[in-house]
Structure 1
């Protein structure tokens, strides 16, 4: 079945949900001949261009705040008349559901969550938390389906919604097909440790730096790839590096849309997050055959690593345990690169894309019955 699908997201930036939406949109367009329209609050940069280069439409509502998008999106629904809408993030999801109530064109809506509500908004104001809780607990009940990117997140949202019937987990697809990844040998005189993700509090890079300082492994180097989103957090990390004489051994690299070279040169991947929605970068690292050390945080890492079968899990915020795990894996890697890559294939765009396509079709058929 060929569908006309609106992907609704606030901006096409470089976050995890944006990459997931682009991958899914490309898959649906190329493999199932779906007509894809991205609708964003405003144009944000390179990924708008990337989407159009894939043959996908991008429509900007030209609003500064998602709340202002309700009436403009209502008009888009009435003019485009999509078969179905897939949206992401609480504010956008809520605005889409309200717009459908107001619109003359009725179609099914699938909302998706990519981050923990309880963790992601814990530092927000009381008023902000109340708004998000209202959207998730009440407006999400109006959706035809709710997709969470991990089973842990599915459990969390089911509790907030006090309903399990509409909530399901579909893992994120990765951008690399592991069997097509080019691997090569590099200088083993240095143990290259890699972490990928923006510098924000949720990534808890301070614990990683503290663990790195404790390592017994000689000639180890650490690269944190992803750029700075939180300047205060970044300064704390930079100050720690300087105070502990780690300059030259720790590198902060800007975001790149092509991080393959960093994965190829790494000997070990570490995720130090205090919380995640899924943990895409773990699967990306596995596609390159890398061993993994990760915090056992909510939600995703334990599911990806099958409770330690494909990587070491350590408690959140425990630098001592993280350092010990890193040293042990670097000295005697117990994880077969071939098995790591095979596990990554469980999250291929083809497999995850087909899950989404089947959900879209069944949701449309049920809505139109």
Structure 2
């Protein structure tokens, strides 16, 4: 096995603090045969964690504390340190440098890059600065930090804005990395609770808790005022546990005596077993002036404690209903009121919940190992609302995580319909704009931002999904990143100006069907193409389909229960929903108990108008977007596709996985290839692209569509045959085949 990559972490010191504790939690859980940490500290003192760092295989280097007047000697110290750790070719032994001390990161990160460290990271962990001259100086030193680092990590949006500026956050430069803990250590334990309370002599007391260093940011003065108000009310025998140390501790001790609560406030200092002390607490109070993302609130929630924190703290830390916020500008008595309203509550473990939300250090260790060691890959999608190529994008990200450090770039985060937990999402905040000039300007702004991301992140591949994402990917091409453009439908290849740009810029054009690939090769003479069928999670789809549908407007328990047909797709002319509605009109005349669901994103105003004209309001249901569409497919007797053009319609395969008999138009690209020209399902002639939302006319092809539906509905043996054939064919579109083929393309191999 080769040597581990070494990551150089920059801190003020290695004492027992919030950021230091989070880094050490991560370090303990890393596979240190793959990734090893070293540290630079700005202190001569022997830190709390130094001995453990050395035992884990890390090294500790020292540079002088920055004091403005020593600017040049500070720079020389950094150059000397980093030059001593280069080989003969000038390559640094450190793979990356990660600056948690951001006040001077704009100084040492550029020096690190000049000394051969390839990747620089600035990590924002606080959403404020000290008061006075020190705070002013910190803001000054950070003013250009976003331009000095390749990656901008932040524990919260507030921390990102505070350290890197709102512009960097809006441009999608920051990467969210929550403060993670070893969740299992904080699971409620009655025996530990009893032991700690007995040791402190507080067995019968109601315990208010706080964990944090004695510093201006933590606002201990306000906490004591809240606690004094509680004591004065005498509703419980209250005590306050304060864990932590710091220069302000003695002032707070004096204030507690002045407030007459000195005998009820326990100054416990730093504790290596802080998790045990959460067990002894009944309520956690945190009135900070500013924070990045307080790991203590994460710990308290995991331990099942109710928490009251200031509304200046980032909302990302609110993972459960246990947390309430109030303003520190309010009278402390209102905080006391809030606490007393929730003195009685059922305390239970939140370990599984916090793990699922990404706050567990075991999962974060895997993510960071990927980041530190794997090649980067960008996926680009305009949005992540419910849609075919958006689903493929999300699935691709999850399937490629074992092989690459994957990030998804989106233009807008509105209406995200997919589970994105555990995925790196970069939102560049450039959503849809109306008007030709605005659209053109927006396109160029998107391309500039994505190009900057590519230049800083250095991904080996950028793979885009959908026309607008393809344009941005092509226009943002850089020399170090291969451009993969995904064509999702016939409309993509029919757009000559875009296709001419694509064939000039693309390193690979990935098509969703062989017919589309053939058009690209024959019409545009571009041969670096491949067909990659969309992947499907048959097991997951089947499991989700078992969920009961409860919102249908029809009574499904009646003996003469409705029989349901379903069509799925966004409100778009290409879906041909006027054909479907007219065909359904004929079907329900023949079989009155038939009902129709049209599910998808959009207003469907014209479709609803046609439904009304044909007096079908009681028989056609428009549920809109649903996060679990599969239960509606499973509740239906037949799936119908009426499009006049498609790429590779995902919902067709999803219906096949569930064994729903289906009838589809033989439209341009997609259905015929999926159904092998009718071998695995029924194809009817394309009914045309001329929109006709008038109920007065029903075409011959629409009548033919209706007749075929009726024929299958009346033949149970035919339905069973179709169901078996479709399930068999759907098995060919599995995850393994998709991953194998996509990796071949990534490695520049032929399919």
1:84 equivalent in alignment to 2:456: no
Report whether the alignment pairs 1:342 with 2:722. no
Distance in 2, Cα, partners of 1:142 & 1:96: 9
Tell whether the 8 Å contact from 2:380 to 2:465 is kept in structure 1 after alignment: yes
Map 1:15-30 onto structure 2 (within 5 A).
15-29=387-401
Deviation for aligned residue 1:224: 0.7
Matches within 5 A, 1:238-257: 238-257=608-627
Question: Is 1:354–2:728 an aligned residue pair?
Answer: no
Cα deviation, residue 209, structure 1: 1.0
1:137·1:160 contact (CA, 8 Å) conserved in 2?
no
Once residues 109 and 346 of structure 1 are traced to their aligned partners in structure 2, the CA distance between those partners, rounded to angstroms, is 28
Stretch deviating more after TM superposition (293-302 or 244-253)? 244-253
Which residues in structure 2 correspond to 1:271-350 (within 5 Å)?
271-317=641-687, 318-333=701-716, 334=718, 335-350=721-736
CA offset digits 1:79-115 (Å, max 9, x no partner): 1111211112334323323322xx4x51211111112
Q: Secondary structure at the match of 2:669?
A: coil
Determine which structure has the larger helix proportion and give its number. 1
- The answer to whether 1:133 aligns with 2:496 is yes
1:266 corresponds in structure 2 to: 636
Query: After superposition, what is the alpha-carbon deviation per residue over 1:254-306, rounded to whole angstroms, capped at 9, x for unaligned?
Result: 11121122111111100011111111111010111111100000110011111
Shift of 1:178: 7.6
The answer to whether the 8 Å contact 2:547/2:631 transfers is no
Question: C-alpha displacement at 1:242, in angstroms?
Answer: 1.7
Does the 8 Å CA contact 1:293/1:311 hold for their aligned counterparts? Answer: yes
Aligned with 1:355: secondary structure?
Answer: helix
2:594 is aligned to 220
User: In 2, distance between residues paired with 1:209 and 1:139?
Assistant: 37
Retained in 1: the 8 A contact 2:541–2:654? no
Query: What is residue 167 of structure 1 aligned with on the other side?
Result: 529
Measured at CA, do residues 69 and 144 of structure 1 come closer, stay the same or move farther in structure 2, by a change above 3 Å?
A: same
Partner Cα separation in structure 2 for residue 324 and residue 354 of structure 1: 42
**What residue number does 2:430 align with?**
63
Equivalent-residue separation in structure 2 for 1:312 and 1:89 (angstroms): 28
Measure, in 2, the Cα distance between the counterparts of 1:117 and 1:108. Answer: 24
Aligned-partner Cα distance in 2 for 1:110–1:258: 30
Query: Alignment partner of 1:222: what SS?
Result: strand
In 2, the alpha carbon distance for the partners of 1:191 and 1:150 equals: 33
Change (3 A) 1:227 1:110: closer
- TM-score computed with the length of structure 1 as normaliser: 0.84
Would the aligned equivalents of 1:184 and 1:264 in 2 still touch at CA under 8 Å? Answer: no
- The answer to whether the 8 Å contact 1:170/1:355 transfers is yes
2:376–2:405 contact (8 Å) kept in structure 1: yes
Are 1:151 and 2:514 matched, yes or no?
Answer: yes
Structure 1 residues 11 and 66, CA, compared in 2 at 3 Å: closer, same or farther? farther
Structure 2 distance, partners of 1:50, 1:25, is: 12
Is the deviation greater in 342-351 or in 204-213? 342-351
Task: Describe the shift of the 1:263–1:302 C-alpha distance in structure 2 as closer, same or farther (beyond 3 A).
Answer: same
Rounded to whole Å, the distance in 1 between the matches of 2:404 and 2:522 is 34
Question: What secondary structure does 1:275 align onto?
Answer: coil
Q: Distance in 1 between matches of 2:631 and 2:451?
A: 43
Equivalent residues of 1:94, 1:135 under 8 A apart: yes
How far has the Cα of 1:175 moved from its partner?
4.4
Structure 1 Cα separation of the partners of residues 566 and 444 of structure 2: 38
Once the two structures are TM-superposed, the CA of residue 183 in structure 1 deviates from its matched residue by 6.1
Shift of 1:310: 1.7
Using the alignment, how far apart are the partners of 2:747 and 2:413 within structure 1?
29
Q: 2:486 aligns with which of 112, 117, 127?
A: 112
Deviates more, 1:273-282 or 1:4-13: 4-13
Please say if residues 649 and 670 of structure 2, whose CA atoms lie closer than 8 Å, have aligned partners that are also in contact: yes
Check 1:184–1:227 CA distance in 2 against 1; reply closer, same or farther (3 A cut): closer
Contact 2:656/2:726 (CA < 8 Å) preserved in 1? yes
CA contact (8 A) 2:381 2:409 kept: yes
More displaced 10-residue stretch of structure 1: 251-260 or 180-189: 180-189
CA deviations on 1:151-174 (whole Å, 9 max, x unpaired) are: 2222233344222x1122111123
**What is the aligned-residue RMSD (CA, Å)?**
2.6
